[in-house]
Amino acid sequence: MAWLRQNAASSVAYVGGPAVRAQALAKRYPGATAVRGVDLAVAPGETFGFLGPNGAGKTTTIGMLCTLTAPTSGDAWIDGHSVRTAPDRVRRSIGLVFQETTLDLGLTAWENLRFHARLYGVRADDARERARDLLDLAGLADRRDDPVAAFSGGMRRRLEIVRALMHRPRVLFLDEPTVGLDPQTRARIWEHLHRLRRREGITLFLTTHYLDEAEHCDRVAIIDGGAIVAEGTPAELKDVVGADRVELRTGDDAAAAERLRGAFGLEPALGPAGLSVRVADGASFVPRLCAGLDVPIDAVTVVRPSLDDVFLHYTGRTIRDEGAAR
């Protein structure tokens, strides 16, 4: 029977079975639990993001889904194949881009791709055609015979993504795919990933601690302390927080704070940049604020809820604070 799943959060139905599914997936080490009973389902063709700080359990979960680490309990299925009972079938169904580069820098781009194809048993003529096609799609065709040591960080990452697709996997796993890259290069990598997903029809499953990167995902799961604490589309997760944040700088923040309490019934927060308040609709509140605040206003900004606000809502701290502390 075709497998039909109705995603309660996003109201998206899909037929034929999930591309990635995990049930009570856990990994324990002596004295520590890295992953605590993860349940998830990812639709074919979806871009799914695991969002969390370093040490949250993202890489360990990826390791179990890709058969690099054996689960302590629970199970996971990739394209219908169990990571416990059919690991070889799982490996044929996936591509994997590690956080650290695994390219052979002494080989050319073409040689790296051909070597990967031979490991997966891709016929030589098919490998040549596939490599030529993917290098062209990645904008690396004119560098195919150059040693990878001469490539920039962004070019190496694009080549790693291309290499992971040589054997036509159903699911592409990316562990922190743009870590260490500058914002402009990160944007180009995402353009490349979107093109590949549309052209190849693959499912993307990525881990990240970049909040703006998670906005590229169809759905996001926030993982903290080895457990999923929230899941949904970026918009749905931000709707949980609800209120806009209005930030303002005034000529007298103490007097402005008293006025906000007395006239508007709001409790402002005072920080180095000035005052901030939470309101349901920041855009409509600002005119009333300017008319009703008898203190000179130097600047006012409306900030919509972010995924960092969502992380703060569910964990009590921001992901940026976590990243800085580790």
DSSP string, 277-320: EEES-HHHHHHHHHHH--S-EEEEEEE---HHHHHHHHHSS-HH
Beta strands in the chain (DSSP E): 4-6, 13-15, 20-29, 32-42, 47-51, 73-78, 81-82, 94-97, 171-175, 203-208, 219-224, 227-232, 244-250, 269-271, 274-279, 297-303
pLDDT at 186 over 90: no
Q: Which amino acid is at 291?
A: A
**3-class DSSP assignment, residue 30:** coil
Sheet containing 297-303, strands listed edge to edge, beginning at the edge strand earlier in sequence: 269-271, 274-279, 244-250, 297-303
pLDDT at 72: 97
Domain 4-232: which CATH number of 2.40.50.40, 3.30.390.30, 3.40.50.720, 3.40.50.300? 3.40.50.300
pLDDT at 299: 93
pLDDT at 16: 65
The string of pLDDT tens digits covering residues 196-230 is 899 889 999 999 888 888 889 999 999 999 999 99
pLDDT at 118: 96
The string of pLDDT tens digits covering residues 29-86 is 999 999 999 999 999 999 999 988 888 899 899 999 999 999 999 999 999 999 999 9
The string of pLDDT tens digits covering residues 94-129 is 999 998 889 999 999 999 999 999 999 999 999 999
Lowest mean per-residue pLDDT among 31-35, 190-194, 316-320: 316-320
The string of pLDDT tens digits covering residues 150-175 is 999 999 999 999 999 999 999 999 99
Q: What is the location of CATH 3.40.50.300 in the chain?
A: 4-232
Lowest mean per-residue pLDDT among 19-23, 145-149, 160-164, 185-189: 185-189
Separation between Cα atoms, residue 191 and residue 181, nearest integer Å: 14
pLDDT at 238 over 80: yes
Q: Which of 75-79, 193-197, 296-300 has the highest mean pLDDT?
A: 75-79
pLDDT at 5: 40
Give the Å distances, CA to CA, from 132 to 14, 64, 163, 219.
Answer: 33, 32, 11, 32
CB half-sphere exposure, 251, CA atoms < 13 A? 5
Instruction: Specify the pairing of strand 81-82 against strand 20-29.
Output: unpaired
pLDDT at 320: 56
pLDDT at 2: 35
Instruction: Specify the pairing of strand 219-224 against strand 81-82.
Output: unpaired
Domain 243-304: which CATH number of 1.10.357.10, 3.30.70.260, 3.40.710.10, 1.20.1260.60? 3.30.70.260
Residue 319 pLDDT class (50, 70, 90 cuts): low
Give the Å distances, CA to CA, from 59 to 171, 197, 208, 283.
Answer: 16, 22, 10, 40
Q: Note whether 237 and 306 are within 8 A (CB).
A: no
Separation between Cα atoms, residue 148 and residue 160, nearest integer Å: 11
CB half-sphere exposure, 12, CA atoms < 13 A? 14
Q: Note whether 279 and 302 are within 8 A (CB).
A: no
pLDDT at 325 over 80: no
With b for 16 or more beta-carbon neighbours within 10 A and e for fewer, the 304-316 pattern comes to ebbbbbbbbbbbe
Q: What is the location of CATH 3.30.70.260 in the chain?
A: 243-304
